[in-house]
């Protein structure tokens, strides 16, 4: 953990960008880049749960190799599943924790500890932000709160994007039905 003031500065930067950007993928990518930079750790990934397969689909990542990112399907039911139901979960040692789905891949990647925080929309978990450190790390309450705040911002952004996309599709359908060009 670097400095609580740095965490607030990062939150301010991301919320300002949120209000300026119409591209959610830019904000999500900035989020996964800012977390490791702020905390001084290895990497970060943002996953969304596919509702039909219960697999965690990678939306954005930073500081992790393609080999690690392509290690296999990440199950929402097997990979640190508690974090989606019970809130943040910190894994101190990935080599000695049964909640890790791919412990060998994590060790090969040089990951020692993981923090998994749910992305919530209302009371529903739609994904997770995962933070990876190269050394075993006891995540502090400030670390967890910082990552949780950014996960909430990501959840709001994703929900807003889905609503906006649905609204545009509705307008297109109405325009087609009425025979007038879309606005």
Tell me: pLDDT of 168 over 70: no
- Domain at 4-174, CATH homologous superfamily: GAF domain (3.30.450.40)
Q: Cα 77 to the chain's mean position, in Å?
A: 17
70 pLDDT more than 70: yes
Over the stretch 99-113, which tens digit does the pLDDT of each residue have?
999 999 999 999 999
Q: What is the pLDDT, as a whole number, of residue 115?
A: 96
pTM over 0.95: no
C-alpha 43/C-alpha 65 separation (Å) is 10
Provide, rounded to the nearest whole percent, the portion of the chain with pLDDT above 90. 44
pLDDT at 69 over 50: yes
Q: What is the rounded CA–CA span in Å between residue 146 and residue 108?
A: 27
Tell me which residue of 20, 52, 26, 30 sits closest to 150, measured CA to CA: 30
- What are the extents of the domains in the chain? 4-174
Ranking 21-25, 46-50, 88-92, 163-167 by mean pLDDT, the lowest is: 163-167
Tokens matching residue 147: 């990552």
Distance CA 16, CA 8 (A): 12
């Amino acid at each position: 953990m670097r400095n609580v003031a740095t965490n607030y500065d990062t939150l301010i930067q991301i919320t300002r960008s949120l209000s300026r950007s119409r591209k959610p993928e830019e904000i999500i990518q900035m989020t996964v880049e800012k977390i490791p930079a702020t905390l001084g750790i290895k990497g970060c990934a943002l996953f969304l749960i596919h509702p039909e397969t219960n697999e965690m689909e990678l939306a954005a990542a930073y500081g992790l190799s393609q080999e690690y990112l392509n290690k296999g399907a990440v199950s929402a039911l097997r990979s640190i599943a508690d974090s989606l139901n019970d809130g943040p979960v910190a894994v101190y040692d990935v080599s000695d924790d049964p909640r890790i789905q791919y412990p060998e891949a994590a060790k090969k990647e040089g990951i020692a500890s993981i923090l998994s925080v749910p992305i919530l929309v209302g009371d529903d978990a739609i994904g997770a932000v995962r933070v990876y450190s190269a050394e075993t790390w006891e995540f502090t309450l400030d670390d967890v709160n910082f990552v949780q705040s950014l996960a909430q911002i990501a959840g709001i952004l994703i929900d807003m994007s889905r609503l906006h996309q649905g609204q545009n599709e509705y307008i297109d359908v109405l325009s087609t039905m009425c025979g007038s060009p879309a606005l």
